[in-house]
Amino acid sequence: MHRIIFPEESYKIMGACFTVYTEQGSGFLEAVYQESLEIELRDQGVPFTSHPCLALTYKGRPLHQTYTPDLVCFGRILVELKAVSALTDEHRAQVHNYLRATRLHLGLLINFGHAPKVQYERIVR
């Protein structure tokens, strides 16, 4: 049996996403959902950092390139937002790579572009 990591935290984040989708529906650009979600997370008291600049390494050596995820909530959950008709394997691979690069263990891939409901996936490293 697998243990769900960060269940309470991810439940709060997803609740905020559902609220945003109920208010905004589908059809906006990702930036609109990002800003709306930041407002909702703030209203619900969920701690987050928007577009933090995270260092990357290769074989233990720092890279000049950095990674800027959409959100990091609770200091340990990566949140990647999309506004596309459907999530693809490329989106999933992106989150897997970000988790590996940042050494975070949980990523939430959220798609606000899907109708009739928000599409989401929990991705665990």
pTM of the model: 0.92
Q: Are 105 and 75 in contact, with CB atoms under 8 Å apart? A: no
Q: What is the CATH architecture of 7-124?
A: Alpha-Beta Complex (3.90)
At 70 the three-state DSSP class reads coil
**DSSP label of 45:** T
Please check the confidence at residue 45 and state whether its pLDDT lies above 90.
yes
- Lowest model confidence (mean pLDDT) among 35-39, 51-55, 84-88, 108-112: 51-55
Sign (positive/negative) of CA torsion 15, 20, 21, 27?
A: negative
At 17 the three-state DSSP class reads helix
| pLDDT at 11 (0 to 100) | 96
